Structure 1
Amino acid sequence: SSSELGDPRRTEGCMQRFILHPNCPQRGVWEINSLLLVVYDIIWIPLQLLEPEENAFTNVMEWVTRLFWSADIGCSYLTGFVTTHGFVELRPKPIAKRYLRTWFTLDVIVVGVDWMEIIIASIVYGGAFRFSRAARALRIVRMVRLLRLLRIREMAKVLFESMHSETIKELADMISIFLMILVSGHIFACVWYGLGTSEIEPGSWVEQTFAYRHGLGYRYMASLHWSLSQYSGGMDEIRPANVTERIYVVVVLVFTLMVGTVLVSSLTSSMTQLSILANEKKSKLSMLRKYLLDNKISSRLCLRIQRNAEFSLVEQEMFLPEQSVELLHLLSEPLRIELHFELFARVLKHHPFFDEYIDHCPHIMQKVCHCAPKIMGVSCGDIVFNVGEIPPKPKMIMVTSGSLTYTPVQRGPASVAGRKSLNVVGEETVRSSSRVSVKARPSAGRVSRRSVFNAAASSTVVLEPGMWIAEAVLWTHWMHRGVLTASSDSRLCLLDAAMFQQTVTAFDHDEFNPKIYANHFVALLNAAQDLSDNTMLLEAEALTRLEKELTAAAEAKSNRPKRRASLAKF
């Protein structure tokens, strides 16, 4: 079956409703639990070789892990996946085929070992074998469960993909290297003590050092001390006492020599890269400070400029600009259009008009999102636009993060009385049928949107994420009526009015015509007592009138008598 790029692939059937999306919250909670249980297995299973005392917690956790991983096999059959072409595959049959090819064999082996432990334990307590030997066999069988370590790689990949800062990624690389050293040291230490108590050969390092006389803490720390010292060539305090232990020491030394070299080089590379990133940032800020000092810029402005520069650097690390990603320029034009649509449609949908426009004309809004919007960052105290400013490149502003403050500046009754009527872009006058009478009164017990707008036009507004301002630039020639200032470090989505108008007018609109909305919007502006860049209370009224006009047109079209087509005679 075919589907659009990135859309989920589904099929009809009784199993389809049970399939989970790979990025759904339920699957995320399941993955977190699986990660915690893998960490528990890494710590507890090797520790069994040191013969710790069991308690109620460990007994409960044995059954929790056994039941969880058994259920995970069924859950894997019910979880979709993302294909190499970007599709989200949610059909049961392809999901089952992929799982059988990847994790199924490993999961069955590990879960089978989990349940085999119960059989071995029943034989032990049934007296079929000598208790000590069977218990030791049980501990060795449990080590197979460490194969779940392979799952951490997949989980780490998902975690790294969610990181956007290069600095955080380098720090995460360094932490992962330290964790790999500790995990390998933990496993080597537990196996080393297990060899010392295995009774394979007479004499062992445990007997020579009398480690068995001490508690679990001492035995574990002595073994861990020995294992970590292998990364630096070994230690003299604890030495192998038989051939089996000496073979194990040689194997561990070879492993630590090879893996240790790779880990140290990776750690050095990560630290070097981290240092380069830090020095590059310091160098840029130092050059900026030198420029400001050389040109004798005031200290107050210097502080604001430096703060803005630091914010921009952090912004660039957290949100990589599109122009910095070379591979995006290699994508096909239709794919880039779809990418931009997904990026900006979620922002524009906060606006009621664009929410409807996206639903009715998604093909047009794909083009709009491709060429009209762009992201801009502002820092606290920045003035985005000022009163009386006629923007050379007008843009509607939508807040995606942070907050801004809009302060209207009214010009007095005389200027309002002599105000010229605004016209829709591309038309000389607004049609008289679209004009709204200022004297019209609301019905009893109801407050009109226009009166609310007149009250809001003279009040200060705090713009938060999901809010917008200066929509009027899309529909008419506009001069800003107030001051917009950033209250905090913010990210804005700017919708270019010229590109929006050029794109929209290139299409025919049979049903949802933005020109009708523009006429109503500008008419409501002309009817307002005070003009303001904050028109968030007018959009709903203009959209309501547009919907009424479209409904009336649709009803008139449906009631129109149809002409009977005459049949041609042959």
Structure 2
Amino acid sequence: MLSPGSNGFPSLLRDLEKTICARLDHIDAALQRLGGLSDTVKAQDDAWESNLPCIPFTQRAPAAELPIQPVGDEGNIGPEDTYRARTSMLTPRNDPLATLVLRSEWEEWSWKESDQSTVMLVNSRLSRRRVPKTLSHGEQRSRAVPWWIVVPNRPFRLCWDLMTSFLIAHDMAVVPFNLAFEIGGNPVSDALFWPFALFWTMDLPLSFFTAIYRGCNLEVRMAKIAIHYLRTWFIIDVFVVGSTWFEVLINLHDGILLGRIGKSMRILRVIRTLRFVRVVKLGRITQELHDRISSEYHHIVLTVVKLILTIVWLNHFIACGWWAVGVSTSKAGFENAWTLHYRLEGAALDWQYFTSLHWSLTQFTPAGMEVSAQNTPERIYSVFVLLFAMVTFSSFVSSITAAMTQLRQLHSRHATNLGLLRRFLDSRRLPIDLITRILHCVEQRVGQQHKEVQEGEVQYLKLLSQPLKAELTLHISGPILERHPFLRRYAEVGMEPMRQVCLEAVERCLLSTKDVLFSEGQPCKRMFFMVSGCLRYNFKTEPPQQIFGRADGQDQAHEALPESAYCCEVSLWCPWVHRGTMEAELMTEVLALDVSAFTAITCAHDTVNRFGARYGKLFIDAMQKELFSGAREISDLSVFEHDTVDDLVERAYLKQAVHSPVDLATSPPSGEDDGGEPVVRQWGTLPDREKSASPLAEPRQA
């Protein structure tokens, strides 16, 4: 062992100085490629140099004079080896493209060092004020419609329409029955009369606050809604509601009216027939229910149920009419009325009704019964019913048959294709485990297709205009993309670029069990968002002792990605190569955001371009600090916690507000012109946007 007084000690010091200088030059060159040192790296560099022996440093020798030697297993690992190992983690092995350097597209709008004083001023001025909360996709849409406007497809209006359907169905069944069989008041009808009258009375003013569809747009302006209602249903509703309260007046003063007029019951019959006008509304409500059903199977079932109920109601109405004709002819002096001939006028009410209903059903079918017409008015009524049944019933039967055939085709098509697949697999003599996997995958895919139809399968989507198609894709993909804080704020800064991103840069991918989404070493060109299912990320972990050369092997690590996760965000801001392999644990659907398309769309809009460039610069700087500190390994997964990403987004958003606060006022969506009518603002009114931007405009004045 050498001592300070030995002859070889000065030469050893000179060799050590050359080695250290060469390694410092090598580190400086690597850091220049990375864009400079961060504060954390400088602190580690100073701490490392402070621990070196006190040697009088002369001018550094070039790195070529003494090559860098790897640290052997016998040697001690110094701080410089730790520093070199951490910097080597910044790029994937054998991949020079994946360096943590901001993409050239974002360099034009990235932050400059001279802007730091302005940022400090903004932070100090805004420290006493709360930054506006980032609105999600649903919150922005709900803010667009005034709170007093009722949207047709909202839950409140849906429940109201269902109640309306129930009341109309009640009137369609009860009113003809009471008129035909001359049923007076009973406790049940008297108890239901007042709630029904109040409901129809409230429905009248509510129609002035219910939004309407004009072409492809939703009209929420009260003036336009009122004009439309006054031109369509207002007069009819006022007449029907007024007749209802007139019926209340007759019931309250029944004795007086009987004494003066003597025709109150006849007046009530005429008034009650006016309720049938509301039947027209039932068609609109059922159509809205059809529009809310996405499953083809449920749509067919609802159609069949509607046809059957229509046939039942027609027979109920004809049966009531048949009894009314018999009673009227008997009162008119016909001795051979069918009610008298079959001795039904003194029978029980249920026997009277079901006998009439039985006769009505026989007019629609080849079956017969003992009841028949006994005079000319009854024969005329029977002939008209037969003609009506011959035309309408055949149409109803054919519609029901076609619907049932369509249901069978849905099942038979699947059974036929599955049988062909089994025959194909059996003929190839494949292993039984592979056949089972294939059949299981097909069953999952078929079930997924029944739950959600893909865009390419819908031919009518090609008929939509470009603005309306962009709005559709925004509502489908927007909520998934806005799980990420940056894209949520991105949509608030520029809604039009967000529409374009959802339309042109987003693609849905379906993965079966064990399907690979991406593999290690492949260039990363897309960012992925989970929609449903589960993904497993496999990557090679490198413990510290393996990084420094003490071992050669690498351990395989696994991490499962649940729903609502995202990965590969770093590819948006710098060239990237996948560090691991992502595969599906079960049937999975992901949303892929194309990096090139997203970058091109963002760079074409100055507002979001500045915001994206500043966030990307902050993201890369924060990622370098995170990796230099050795807190975590680099991978394709989300590098930072959600709160950290929120902080980076808000810092970039504050910088955006300093440079152009006016750009934060998002313009309303564009749509097709509908006959010169203004397009409905679905994403907020101008005063709301000015209010959200005003807190950020005050520091600029200072």
RMSD value, Cα: 3.6
Aligned-residue offset at 1:343: 2.5
- For 1:130 and 1:559, locate their aligned partners in 2 and report how far apart those are by CA, in whole Å: 77
Residue type at the aligned position of 2:624: A
Aligned to 1:100: 230
- For 1:61 and 1:302, locate their aligned partners in 2 and report how far apart those are by CA, in whole Å: 62
- For 2:345 and 2:377, locate their aligned partners in 1 and report how far apart those are by CA, in whole Å: 19
Aligned to 2:361: 228
Deviations 1:359-415 (Å, cap 9, x if unpaired)? 123333233222221223345x344447x53346643222233x3153554433158
Aligned to 1:67: 198
Mapped pair 1:541 → 2:541: no
Query: Pairwise mapping of residues 548-567 of structure 1 onto structure 2 (< 5 A)?
Result: 548=651, 551=654
1:523 to 624, 629, 632: 624
Assess if the C-alpha contact under 8 Å between 1:164 and 1:317 holds in 2: no
Aligned-residue offset at 1:255: 1.3
Aligned to 1:463: 562
Assess if the C-alpha contact under 8 Å between 2:359 and 2:369 holds in 1: no
Aligned to 1:429: none
Query: TM-score w.r.t. structure 2 length?
Result: 0.65
Assess if the C-alpha contact under 8 Å between 1:410 and 1:530 holds in 2: no
- For 2:438 and 2:259, locate their aligned partners in 1 and report how far apart those are by CA, in whole Å: 79
Aligned-residue offset at 1:9: 13
- For 1:38 and 1:511, locate their aligned partners in 2 and report how far apart those are by CA, in whole Å: 55
Mapped pair 1:478 → 2:611: no
Residue type at the aligned position of 1:68: F
Aligned to 2:411: 278
Aligned-residue offset at 1:113: 2.7
- For 2:621 and 2:173, locate their aligned partners in 1 and report how far apart those are by CA, in whole Å: 68
Aligned to 2:218: 88
Assess if the C-alpha contact under 8 Å between 2:485 and 2:649 holds in 1: no
Residue type at the aligned position of 1:467: A
Distance 1:294 1:531, change over 3 A: farther
Assess if the C-alpha contact under 8 Å between 1:337 and 1:369 holds in 2: yes
The answer to which of 121-130 and 534-543 deviates more is 121-130
Mapped pair 1:154 → 2:288: no
Mapped pair 1:200 → 2:301: no
SS in 1 for 2:345: helix
Aligned-residue offset at 1:59: 0.8
- For 2:501 and 2:351, locate their aligned partners in 1 and report how far apart those are by CA, in whole Å: 68
Assess if the C-alpha contact under 8 Å between 1:393 and 1:496 holds in 2: no
Aligned-residue offset at 1:201: 4.1
Query: TM-score w.r.t. structure 1 length?
Result: 0.79
Assess if the C-alpha contact under 8 Å between 2:211 and 2:220 holds in 1: yes
- For 1:409 and 1:17, locate their aligned partners in 2 and report how far apart those are by CA, in whole Å: 50
Aligned-residue offset at 1:181: 0.4
Distance 1:391 1:41, change over 3 A: farther
Assess if the C-alpha contact under 8 Å between 1:399 and 1:491 holds in 2: yes
1:266 to 387, 399, 414: 399
SS in 2 for 1:235: coil
2:242 to 101, 104, 112: 112
SS in 2 for 1:510: helix
Assess if the C-alpha contact under 8 Å between 1:9 and 1:87 holds in 2: no
Assess if the C-alpha contact under 8 Å between 1:352 and 1:540 holds in 2: no
Deviations 1:35-77 (Å, cap 9, x if unpaired)? 2211222222222133457443321211111221122111111
Assess if the C-alpha contact under 8 Å between 2:197 and 2:245 holds in 1: yes
Distance 1:556 1:232, change over 3 A: closer
Mapped pair 1:400 → 2:531: yes
Assess if the C-alpha contact under 8 Å between 2:526 and 2:571 holds in 1: yes
Query: Pairwise mapping of residues 320-339 of structure 1 onto structure 2 (< 5 A)?
Result: 320-339=453-472
Residue type at the aligned position of 1:463: P
Distance 1:358 1:521, change over 3 A: farther
Assess if the C-alpha contact under 8 Å between 2:364 and 2:390 holds in 1: yes
Distance 1:332 1:140, change over 3 A: closer
| Unmatched segments (≥5 aa) in structure 1 | 1-5, 420-456, 563-570
Aligned to 1:142: 272
Aligned to 2:482: 349
- For 1:232 and 1:130, locate their aligned partners in 2 and report how far apart those are by CA, in whole Å: 49
Distance 1:122 1:246, change over 3 A: farther
- For 2:484 and 2:651, locate their aligned partners in 1 and report how far apart those are by CA, in whole Å: 19
Distance 1:73 1:550, change over 3 A: closer
- For 2:271 and 2:698, locate their aligned partners in 1 and report how far apart those are by CA, in whole Å: 80
Deviations 1:161-201 (Å, cap 9, x if unpaired)? 12222232222222211111011111111222233333234
- For 1:547 and 1:10, locate their aligned partners in 2 and report how far apart those are by CA, in whole Å: 24
Distance 1:235 1:477, change over 3 A: same
Distance 1:463 1:131, change over 3 A: farther
Aligned-residue offset at 1:299: 2.8
Deviations 1:325-350 (Å, cap 9, x if unpaired)? 33433444444334323322121111
SS in 1 for 2:509: strand
Question: Which structure would you say has the larger RCO, counting Cα contacts within 8 Å and 6 or more residues apart?
Answer: 2
SS in 1 for 2:529: strand
Assess if the C-alpha contact under 8 Å between 2:537 and 2:560 holds in 1: yes
- For 2:610 and 2:260, locate their aligned partners in 1 and report how far apart those are by CA, in whole Å: 86
Residue type at the aligned position of 1:535: S
Aligned to 1:243: 376
2:599 to 501, 511, 532: 501
Residue type at the aligned position of 2:334: P
Residue type at the aligned position of 2:620: N
Assess if the C-alpha contact under 8 Å between 1:226 and 1:238 holds in 2: yes
- For 1:133 and 1:234, locate their aligned partners in 2 and report how far apart those are by CA, in whole Å: 41
SS in 2 for 1:82: strand
Structure whose CA Rg is larger? 2
- For 1:521 and 1:192, locate their aligned partners in 2 and report how far apart those are by CA, in whole Å: 84
SS in 2 for 1:18: coil
Query: Pairwise mapping of residues 418-437 of structure 1 onto structure 2 (< 5 A)?
Result: none
- For 2:598 and 2:546, locate their aligned partners in 1 and report how far apart those are by CA, in whole Å: 30
Assess if the C-alpha contact under 8 Å between 2:658 and 2:700 holds in 1: no
Assess if the C-alpha contact under 8 Å between 1:353 and 1:539 holds in 2: no
Distance 1:140 1:554, change over 3 A: closer
Residue type at the aligned position of 1:44: V
Assess if the C-alpha contact under 8 Å between 2:258 and 2:264 holds in 1: no
SS in 2 for 1:77: helix
SS in 1 for 2:541: coil
Residue type at the aligned position of 2:205: G
Mapped pair 1:209 → 2:337: no
- For 2:305 and 2:232, locate their aligned partners in 1 and report how far apart those are by CA, in whole Å: 28
What percentage of residue pairs aligned between the two structures are identical? 26
Deviations 1:505-536 (Å, cap 9, x if unpaired)? 45542344243244146426634433344317
The answer to which of 311-320 and 41-50 deviates more is 311-320
| Unmatched segments (≥5 aa) in structure 2 | 1-139, 550-555, 661-696
Aligned to 1:449: none
SS in 2 for 1:494: strand
